[in-house]
Structure 1
Amino acid sequence: MSESSSAAVPRTTWEYCHSGAERIASGQLLPGDERHGQLVLLLAAVIAGCADEAELVGAEVGRVPVDGPGGLLELLRSRARLAVQACSALPGLGAEQRSALLALDRGAFQVVQALADDTLVGHLMIAGGRAPTVREAANATIRVRVLKGTQAALGRATVG
């Protein structure tokens, strides 16, 4: 399911991690907000760390669970900065945000970490207590965004 026809199709494991993180973080902050890029990078790094531990590559990273053993929340809460240090962010695809995140002091890093935690917990709430995978969480974000767009369009159509 493609978000737009102009979006590049992921080819590498890092590109799949970054794409999934971008979709999961969609709507959390405005894309121009510097924290949006940091949020995406942190989520991508955690996805990559979990995928590496589970020996998942390419599109298989979509099978990483959000919660539970080997899940995103576990790594985010216990070793987030290490995941950022270990991730293979590429220039133009997270490298700049990786450098910025690693330059943050502990308190500022924890702000981004808390935002990532809130984002993932929100996906658990949408899933109704069932622990979704990265793929399911990313697809749910798209569905919610489409529903909000439809509601806004319907609201404008009935008001005008």
Structure 2
Amino acid sequence: MPDITTSDEQQQQQQHIKYGELVVLGYNGQIPNGDRGRRKSKFQLRQRTQANGLKAQRQHLCKNADEVQKLTRADFHSISYTLSRNQTVVVQYAHDEDSDMFQIGRSSENQIDCIVMDTVPGAKTFDDLTVPQSTISRYACRIVVSRHPPYTARIFAAGFDASKNIFLGV
């Protein structure tokens, strides 16, 4: 007899798919405005209700800053690689229905799924927790997981800005 499931049952089953866990080894510091549930030492990567992954769509070789600026708009995900003073590669990304994306970093912005904070040696009070220069990037890395078996996970680490763009190079 074939297995017949309703769309509600399928959605419930998808919510239970666990890709894996991200474990922060050692102490994960304090968030100045309170923890709000995203700063944990262990973070479960579960299939999202709706895919939020990205895939490369177009690649451009730019010869000046104006071209780069036009291609790295806030409403578009992009990566820019500076090759030389007058050569930058911009890769634009589009929504990917077949992958889930998880973001890790010290930023407390909503798009960060797992907040990782610096540990301040010798800090005894909340005021001592101010870090003059953080060792953790605001947008430290992204984990992109295929929504289909074998649920392959890829980690991308770089400098991400508030527009969700990655900046690498000189």
Coarse TM-score class (shorter-chain normalised): under 0.3
Higher relative contact order (CA 8 A, sep 6+): 1
Give the TM-score of the pair, scaled to structure 1. Answer: 0.25
Q: Which has the larger radius of gyration?
A: 2
Give the TM-score of the pair, scaled to structure 2. Answer: 0.24
Which one has a larger percent helix, Structure 1 or Structure 2? 1
